[in-house]
Structure 1
Amino acid sequence: MTQTIPVTILSGSLGAGKTTLLNHLLRNAGDRNIAVLVNDMGDLNVDAELVSANSDLSVGDGVAELSNGCICCELQDDLETAVTRLARNRDFDVLVVESSGISEPEPVARLFTTGSRAAALYEVDSLVTVLDSRLFYDAFGGDGVAERRGTDEDDSRPLSDLLVEQVEFANIVLLNKSDLVSEAEMAAVEEMVRALAPDTEILRTRESAVAPDRLFGRELYDPATAAEMAGWKRALAESESGDDSDHIHSHGDSDHDDHGHGVHDDHDHRHPDEVYGVSSFTYRRRRPFHPERFAALLSDLPSNVVRSKGTCWVAGRESPVVVSQAGPSVRAEAVGRWIAALPEADRDLYRANRRDLEWDDEWGDRRTEFVVIGTGLDEEATIATLDDCLLTDEEMTETWEAFENPFPTQGEELVVTEP
């Protein structure tokens, strides 16, 4: 059986230092023979030319380029073709994929793990995200918000969405440009990264300088657990392991071991004020939100809420509404249907096959489970504000379909706010 080639996937916002990191790795490769694939949104792949100019590799030899699109979506087929051709035409030890500044890392990694031609030749070693520490602090820790977007005019995703997702799926996060922030600001950035991705290894860098051994040969990526890495999923899983009271909330923090790995401790929690004010809690209720009040809250979330995500029960909707917020961007999507809303025969069959499904005698599986991560959160006040959005006893007896309801129906998405 042919040995698979390890792949390191680089993500990060525009200007964070990905290409600088790539050139640094090529100059300090030692005995490693590295091949590179560079993705750029423009028709001129500037990054590919910069890589070629600073190494012995040339475009078309050890450097492959994909332009005029994003490898996490419209260039997936081209990506597979390019990496397959590289493996067949050139001997190398490591493939580094530098994605564009607006690419999501998880779909790129999935290409190498889901039975494709590429998956037969490669194995993902780690996902590495390069953060501009100054930009990240200003976006989530300071007074500003992440309002900039990608350079392509068709890219409509706010930068805050991408920053959060690139962190949540990373095995290693480089806090680059560390010399442009104070020690207190850097500590806050580290704590926010740990809250977003508790198991991520964090490295501080200047000009993306890091020893190649810290990134290569780490075998950190596990496709079986990758989807559970995000801090909001960890908080939700921990809350579900508790009792089934109306809401469960807990503070969480992480620390570093001697090797810089994130260590999450469920029992020895420090007060959030001692960890730079970053905390999280999980809000759980078995009473629906009033659609107008809940929409109003989501459109005016406090600026110190860095990340919130979860499944919400909105009165008048037969689908769970998945709310995803990153900084100033809030989106809501109706996904599937509540099992309790299915025809009786389908509902009974589903329950028979899912013995572990939490079920309320009156409302079935309808419930809200919503994780909130932020800096300097007043947890009790935030919970009270969410509670104010729930239906009152009197509203519970009314016709819910009569409420003004901005939330989407099954298969639709609503952009609540964006920069």
Structure 2
Amino acid sequence: MQATIPVTVLSGSLGAGKTTLLNYLLQTAGDRDLAVLVNDMGTVNVDAELVADGSDLDVEGGVAELSNGCLCCELRDDLETAVVRLARNREFDHLIVESSGISEPEPVARLFTTSSRVAATYEIDALVTVLDTRLFVDAFAGEDIPERRGVDDESDRPLSDLLIEQLEVADIVLLNKTDLCDEAELEEAEALVSALRPVAETVRTEFSAVAADRLLGIDAFEPSEMSESAGWQRALEEADEEGGEPTGHDHGGAHGDGHDHRHPDDVYGVDSFVFRARRPFHPERFAAFLRKLPDGVVRSKGVAWVADRDVKIDVAQAGPSVRATVRGPWVATLPEVERDLYRSNRPDLEWHDEYGDRRTELVFIGTEYDEASVRDRLDDALVTDEEWNRAADLENRFPAANDETLVVREP
């Protein structure tokens, strides 16, 4: 049986240094015979031409172009066709996919693990995210940074959202342009990467110069960890292991006790905690809380129970950006047969006799914030008994359906 071809997926924001890295790898790959697939959002694939100019490949040979869209969105079918055609028409040792600067790497990686005709030929070797370190530090230090703008609606999302999403699935993180940062900033960046993606290896680079052996043929990708090893998920798991179940609250609700806390990196002040509650949030007070998160909170993520919204509200904050969407219904709201079947298949599901699986579970990761103050503000945002009884009368902008999004805060 023929061995599968290893694949490296490169991601990073526009200008982070992905194409520079790609050219460097092509020039220093030694005996490796590389094929490259690059994607650019313009009508002309400039990246492909830059790569071809800097290597022995030509655009019609080892470089397969995709233009006018994103690898992981509109052009998913074209990506599948392109990689299958590459393997059929050309012999090579390793495929590198450089995704657009406004693309998330996870959907690209999933193509190589879920498409039967692609998975029969290819196997993901590593997901590599290139960070503009100066931009990364500024994005999560409350500085004003230029926001990316592209040609589709998805590109209107803040840059901080994309930086986090590209980082939270990475096997290797290149802290590029380190010459523009001092040592303290580099150490802060490394600490943040460690907190946001604990399993990733971090490499400092200037001009994306890194030995090919550190990125290619390293067998670093673990499908089970792609979306399960983000820092916020690790924090939830560790809080559970430490017995961080909700404790009694003085007006009938519950919140996380002091055990729902971890120290990703005490040296550089990166810390996290988990807040849990068995009482819904007052929609206006919770929205006000999210709008005024401390600058030191880099990432918060999880599910919130909001009064008069009998669906799971997914809260995702990355730096100055906060958005709320619907993750799905609470199990407690399902018809009895479906509910019982779900619970029988999930014996570990936390269940309350009165509220079922309804509860808030939010993780906060950051530096130099007052945890006690954040917890107090969260407690204050929960409904009182009187408010709970008239929840339907409260003004509520949180989404109620899957196709709705509430932009709570933007840069």
Q: TM-score, normalised by structure 2?
A: 0.94
- Tell me, yes or no, if structure 1 residue 332 matches structure 2 residue 324: yes
1:349 to 338, 341, 349: 341
Q: What aligned pairs does 1:192-341 form with structure 2 within 5 A after superposition?
A: 192-243=192-243, 244-245=245-246, 246-247=255-256, 248-253=259-264, 270=266, 274-275=267-268, 277-341=269-333
Report SS of the residue matched to 1:55: coil
Evaluate the alpha carbon distance shift between residue 279 and residue 66 of structure 1 in structure 2; reply closer, same or farther with a 3 A threshold.
Answer: same
Report SS of the residue matched to 2:261: coil
Moved more, 129-138 or 333-342: 333-342
For 1:355-390, what per-residue CA distance to the aligned partner results, in whole angstroms no more than 9, with x for missing partners? 222111121111111000111121111111111101
Report SS of the residue matched to 1:224: helix
Q: What aligned pairs does 1:31-110 form with structure 2 within 5 A after superposition?
A: 31-110=31-110
- The 8 Å contact of residues 235 and 262 in structure 2, kept in 1 or not, is answered as no
Report SS of the residue matched to 1:371: strand
Report SS of the residue matched to 2:224: coil
Report SS of the residue matched to 2:386: helix
Q: Gapped runs of 5+ residues in structure 1?
A: 255-269
Distance 1:347 1:164 in 2: 34
- The 8 Å contact of residues 146 and 327 in structure 1, kept in 2 or not, is answered as no
Shift of residue 417 of structure 1?
1.9
Specify the alignment match of 1:257 in structure 2. none
- Tell me, yes or no, if structure 1 residue 360 matches structure 2 residue 352: yes
Report SS of the residue matched to 2:263: coil
Distance 1:177 1:401 in 2: 52
AA aligned to 1:150 is R
Distance 1:196 1:362 in 2: 35
Moved more, 121-130 or 153-162: 153-162
Shift of residue 146 of structure 1?
4.5
Distance 1:350 1:77 in 2: 33
- The 8 Å contact of residues 172 and 201 in structure 1, kept in 2 or not, is answered as yes
AA aligned to 1:393 is D
Shift of residue 351 of structure 1?
2.4
For 1:231-277, what per-residue CA distance to the aligned partner results, in whole angstroms no more than 9, with x for missing partners? 011111111223223304212225xxxxxxxxxxxxxxx4xxx32x2
Report SS of the residue matched to 1:320: strand
Shift of residue 153 of structure 1?
5.8
- The 8 Å contact of residues 145 and 328 in structure 1, kept in 2 or not, is answered as no
Distance 1:346 1:86 in 2: 45
Distance 2:188 2:347 in 1: 43
Report SS of the residue matched to 1:228: coil
- The 8 Å contact of residues 19 and 51 in structure 2, kept in 1 or not, is answered as yes
1:402 to 384, 390, 393: 393
Moved more, 233-242 or 42-51: 233-242
Specify the alignment match of 2:251 in structure 1. none
Q: What aligned pairs does 1:5-44 form with structure 2 within 5 A after superposition?
A: 5-44=5-44
CA RMSD after TM alignment: 1.4
Shift of residue 414 of structure 1?
1.7
Report SS of the residue matched to 2:3: coil
Q: Gapped runs of 5+ residues in structure 2?
A: 247-254
Distance 1:47 1:351 in 2: 50
Specify the alignment match of 1:140 in structure 2. 140
Evaluate the alpha carbon distance shift between residue 205 and residue 211 of structure 1 in structure 2; reply closer, same or farther with a 3 A threshold.
Answer: same
Shift of residue 222 of structure 1?
1.1
Shift of residue 147 of structure 1?
4.9
- The 8 Å contact of residues 337 and 410 in structure 1, kept in 2 or not, is answered as no
Report SS of the residue matched to 2:262: coil
Distance 2:110 2:38 in 1: 17
Distance 2:108 2:277 in 1: 36
AA aligned to 1:78 is D
Q: TM-score, normalised by structure 1?
A: 0.92
Shift of residue 62 of structure 1?
0.6
Distance 1:285 1:232 in 2: 17
- The 8 Å contact of residues 294 and 369 in structure 2, kept in 1 or not, is answered as no
Distance 1:83 1:349 in 2: 40
Distance 1:388 1:199 in 2: 35
1:383 to 370, 375, 383: 375
Specify the alignment match of 1:267 in structure 2. none
Specify the alignment match of 1:120 in structure 2. 120
Distance 1:147 1:158 in 2: 10
- The 8 Å contact of residues 24 and 208 in structure 2, kept in 1 or not, is answered as yes
For 1:289-312, what per-residue CA distance to the aligned partner results, in whole angstroms no more than 9, with x for missing partners? 111110111122222211100011
- The 8 Å contact of residues 168 and 227 in structure 2, kept in 1 or not, is answered as no
Distance 1:220 1:150 in 2: 32
Matched pairs, number: 398
- The 8 Å contact of residues 14 and 150 in structure 1, kept in 2 or not, is answered as no
Shift >6 Å, 4+ stretches: none
AA aligned to 2:298 is V
Q: What aligned pairs does 1:170-189 form with structure 2 within 5 A after superposition?
A: 170-189=170-189
Evaluate the alpha carbon distance shift between residue 147 and residue 289 of structure 1 in structure 2; reply closer, same or farther with a 3 A threshold.
Answer: farther
- The 8 Å contact of residues 146 and 160 in structure 1, kept in 2 or not, is answered as no
